[in-house]
A and B are shown apart, each in its own frame.
Chain A
Amino acid sequence: MSVKKTLIWAVPIAVLLLVLPQVVDPYPTILLAYGLVMAIAVLGFNLLLGYTGLLSFGHSAYFGVGAYAVAFMVKYLHVQSMELFVLGAIVASILVTALFGYVCVRYTKIFFSILTLALSQVLWSLAFKFFWVTGGTDGLRVPTPKLLGVATAEGEDKIYFLAHGYYYYVLAVFVICVALMWLIVHSPFGKALQAIRDNETRARFIGIRIRRYRFVAFLVSGVFTGIAGALWVPLNGLTTPDILYWPFSGEIVFMAVLGGFRNFTGPIVGAVVFNYLKTYAVGFTVYWQALMGVILVVLVMTLPTGIVGSAKLVYAVARRRLAK
């Protein structure tokens, strides 16, 4: 898709996201902030699944690394700056992703998936067992950070802060991440990843160094997810080993499938919708996991291309019919 065509739909959505906190209650805005954070993570995840053909079941690891990097910076370095949090999360996720990626990209298909899952579980068990460092199941608390060097006003309501100042911060990072990812997937590098996804042998025989490209994709993917983790933890106020546990990786996969992983916007839509869906499902029934499971099964059977893929299909059919 060309830059012009992309901007035609991207600009109105950005404007809508900008005015939303002024017209809706803080609670849905905070939920949207969660959705945008997760969208960054799923965008990163989808660089591997949708564009490189690698299904990671271990993206909770990089999300957790981002979140715990922030928590450690607060606990041990007494850092309060959100910019430093993001920077620290990027450095930490580069280190961990480089290590995990070096091992994982040697494999594909189920072997890759299982390896990513196993490595993420290692991190989870470390966070769980080394409680004197990580806080164990109690987790680590992260107070309200300074945004662009500005601390929250004395007595400012935290809900108001999260629904306004912090929301706009998340939105700005989200826009930067979306723009960067859009550029990456539309670059010659992005094309090479799609080539690897479609036919590894042919990609190799046009001179693409498969493992090296997979490694870079893995690294970029992990860093995006790490940034999401860093943004998530001040929103949540606390990080616990739950975000390193495999069901959280499953949620990231769910979001990508829900939105549609074969198009650029699918993961964004999937993350935002999933977040609302989960929140309301949790409020609706104690059996919310079963409900979500049913939704996933129905979704895969009825909308295999996800929400965005199906919407595109409907739009194409409608256009054809109108043209007749």
Chain B
Amino acid sequence: MKDILRSLVDILGERGVSNAAEELWFYARDPGVLEAHFPDYVVAPETTEQVRQVVRLANEEKIPIVPMGNGMALTGLVIPLKGGIVMDMKRMNRILEVNEKARYAVVEGGTSQGALKAYLQDHHPQLRHSLPDAPPTTTIAANVSLHGQGRLTQQYGFNSDMVTGLEVVLPTGEVCKIGSPSLGPYWFSKGPTLPDLSGLFLGWLGTTGIFTKVGLKLYPNKKIRDVEIFVTDRVDLVPDIIYKLTHLEMLEDINAWFQPRPLMFKDNYHITMYFTGDTEEEVEFKRKMIWDSLEEFIVTKDGGFMGVGYMKPMLLEMPQRGIAAFADVPRGGGFEYSGPITLIEHYPDYALKVMELAEKYEVIYSSAARVVSGGHSMMFSISFAFNRADAAMMERVKKALDEATEFALEKGGIPWKPNYKEQRMTLEKLDPNTLKLLQMVKRNLDPNGIMNPGNWEVS
């Protein structure tokens, strides 16, 4: 039998492999509520060639392998459910190229969101990418692999829609380029006009390959950003308000949120609107258009604009540190959320469900829905904070989240970055022929079932 540790050290060097109890304990879990599963090894490659060799070894020896960015999906997607190798990608963090005129960047598979943001600020200040509000340690590759969203999702769709090319190590060890980089040196298109093979990898949560390079669209970074918040106490009006706002085709980002704490926010629904411009005139024009579009709700006294005032720096911060701070509300270092993608017209039903679940399970909630692609859908986050030292509270949060997913599926929604249980619930509901197609893809790409097993397990 092969000495796996020795083989891994041969590929990665001593610094790139660990089976120490400390690393195995840490990489067995993520910050969410799911139970831990221990890996047998943790590796940290620095090159595509190292990734390829490790994957080939894993495939030959039928060892599970789980790619990991920063593990902040919170839904256990990097927990090695069947042991094996966890591959921490963060040492592959180089920004390889920015094509200023074609507005795209090419980054290695472990590059963090924060590093790309800082790099663009330093070297291409007129460009930006769709930065999520997750902590900046999260990686670009992990984000697109789970159809993440960001600050530009309202305008341009899911961050995975912004991919312009991929380099993927297949489960059988081949290195495969997807999109325009498969034909030449440029990374401007992940698919068109070729058959779009990126769909074999995006959204598959690392179960069909490991991203070693990602091409990503960049967008104009306007000189001025501003924010307004519209407040209503009528949840039934939220979809109409968003409809009016998206009709403007002017907003960078729209978030509809509600939370019971601090008390000044209780029982109200807040729609935060971000808008940008290169001149004060442009920004003021947009502000006027926003105000005009919502005037009818002000006239009927169903809502109004709230003073942003002291909250403005926090609201304009990217990413918003305050989002991570939600974990500390019960002084306990944790929160997890279910974030189904659904229709905006279902917002009132989801909102009521959040409050019902919070009451039923005695947990603290917060909810923020992000409008996707000009209003074709939204990501509705159902977030519950927990105290990590309180196992009973964590169990209640787990149950509340399971029930939230059941509700989302009943409403025709799609779970976002679902945990393995939510994936099963989704697969059970899936059209049989769609399921069959998924099985065909998975079996062909990963014949030995080594890639992040336990996730999207369609067999």
Does B bind A?
no
Report which A residues bind B (CB closer than 8 A): none
